Amino acid sequence: MPETVQESAGHWQRDLANAVRSADVLLERLGLTAEQFQSAATGTHRLAPGPFASEETLRQFPVLVPESFLRRMVHGDPADPLLRQVLPLSDEDQTADGFVSDAVGDLQARRGPGVLQKYAGRVLLITTGACAIHCRYCFRRDYPYVDEPRRLEEWSSSIALIAEDTSIHEVILSGGDPLMLNDGRLETLCRQLDQIEHIERIRFHTRLPIVLPSRVTDGLIRLLQSLRAQPIVVVHSNHASELMSDCAEAVKRLSRSGFPVLNQAVLLRGVNDSVEAQEALSRRLLQLGVMPYYLHQLDRVSGTRHFEVPEADGLEIHRRLREVLPGYGVPRYVREIPGRKSKTELPDE
């Protein structure tokens, strides 16, 4: 008998409650030991004794990994590309020149409570600070989410701002992750935006279909299909191994539901910094009906230097990708430079 929507709606919240919240548990579940992790960090700034981040870093940005994502890691492999995205190494405690807390100029772009505008015609809403996973390279890991609206009533001034500005044609729901809102709150927000005539598109920037596939419920798909504005879903997957089992099913359901699904990835050292990894990612995305959109050069946020791939290496990977993939399978390689009118395609000439 098919599940009722009500039942499936509860699953993802339960899955989230059961997520792994410590590096020790993560390693234990994968049959790994702390000794298998060498950190590139030198002794001088070392805050924690082992290979893992200090307690202070973990208090600010704790480990969070849903079971579904964990199940897609290879048991016993310390270099697993999924594990590398969520394992808090002591490198995070390192300060480095040029790596700052607001690397992308978000705070200068704030137009109102929870509203960022950097580019013409589109605004981005910080709908929540919550995510279902904590990616250690996150560009908004230091964003002051507590200052942004929490309850729906607090959105009214931002919705009014969007309603008054007829130059805005697209609203991007971001965060955190907008699909962390429950269906009721998400629907209320979407309906309010949908009533604004000059809003032609509502875009969802979400990693939940990748890391917590149970979030892709019938109710969610029906909500998107019922919007007057064109929904566009932009997922965030960095490696072909993420796009397996329950995640592959969820992503395919989205792409077959009649709205565009795009992917953005971040170029990450030790995760996807090879032609092979990028080609496999694009091919897997295309197989699931998802168009590769952006490959982001890492934003220089404090504590993420160990993930950085030199731009010259990224350019070489990108050049070779164009030789092995169809044009539509090659993501745009971009970097965010504060103050520009769009993301900057690399090379920046």
Ligand X SMILES: *Cc1c(COP(=O)(O)O)cnc(C)c1O
Chain residues that interact with ligand X, rule: CB under 6 A: 109, 116, 118-119, 122, 124, 172, 342-343
Per CB under 6 A, the list member of 72, 84, 118, 134 interacting with ligand SF4 is: 134
CB 205 to ligand SF4: min, Å: 8
C-beta of 271 vs 334, nearer to ligand X: 334
Cα distance between residue 84 and residue 228, in whole Å:
40
CB 263 to ligand X: min, Å: 12
Per CB under 6 A, the list member of 73, 82, 138, 186 interacting with ligand SF4 is: 138
Secondary structure string (H, E, C) spanning the chain: CCCCHHHHHHHHHHHHHCCECCHHHHHHHHCCCHHHCCCCCCHHHCCCCCCECCHHHHHHCCCCECHHHHHCCCCCCCCCHHHHHHCCEHHHHCCCCCCECCCCCCHHHEEECCEEEEECCEEEEECCCCCCCCCCCCCCCCCCHHHCCCCHHHHHHHHHHHHHCCCCCEEEEECCCHHHCCHHHHHHHHHHHHCCCCCCEEEEEECHHHHCHHHCCHHHHHHHHCCCCEEEEEEECCCHHHCCHHHHHHHHHHHCCCCCEEEEEECCCCCCCCHHHHHHHHHHHHHCCCEEEEEECCCCECCCHHHCCCHHHHHHHHHHHHHHCCHHHCCEEEECCCCCCCCEECCCC
Residue 72 contact, options ligand SF4, ligand X, none, Cβ 5-8 Å cut-off depending on partner type: none
Q: Which stretch in 129-137, 194-202, 245-253, 317-325 sits in contact with ligand SF4 by CB under 6 A?
A: 129-137
C-beta of 135 vs 277, nearer to ligand SF4: 135
Residue 223 contact, options ligand SF4, ligand X, none, Cβ 5-8 Å cut-off depending on partner type: none
C-beta of 176 vs 303, nearer to ligand SF4: 176
C-beta of 39 vs 264, nearer to ligand X: 264
> Dihedral sign, CA of 4, 6, 12, 18?
negative
Assess 177 for contact with ligand SF4 (CB under 6 A): yes
Assess 300 for contact with ligand SF4 (CB under 6 A): no
Q: Which stretch in 87-95, 126-134, 149-157, 158-166 sits in contact with ligand SF4 by CB under 6 A?
A: 126-134
Per CB under 6 A, the list member of 72, 84, 118, 140 interacting with ligand SF4 is: 140
Interface characters, 207-226, with ligand SF4 (x: CB under 6 A): x-------------------
Residue 135 contact, options ligand X, ligand SF4, none, Cβ 5-8 Å cut-off depending on partner type: ligand SF4
CB 63 to ligand X: min, Å: 26
For 75, other C-beta atoms within 10 Å of its C-beta total 10
Residue 172 contact, options ligand SF4, ligand X, none, Cβ 5-8 Å cut-off depending on partner type: ligand X
- Give the residue among 317, 337, 220, 219 at the shortest CA–CA distance from 277: 317
Residue 134 contact, options ligand SF4, ligand X, none, Cβ 5-8 Å cut-off depending on partner type: ligand SF4
Q: Is 24 exposed, middle or buried (0-12, 13-18, 19+ CB in 10 A)?
A: exposed
Interface characters, 179-198, with ligand SF4 (x: CB under 6 A): --------------------
CB 294 to ligand X: min, Å: 7
Contact footprint for ligand SF4 (CB under 6 A):
131, 133-135, 138, 140, 176-177, 207, 236
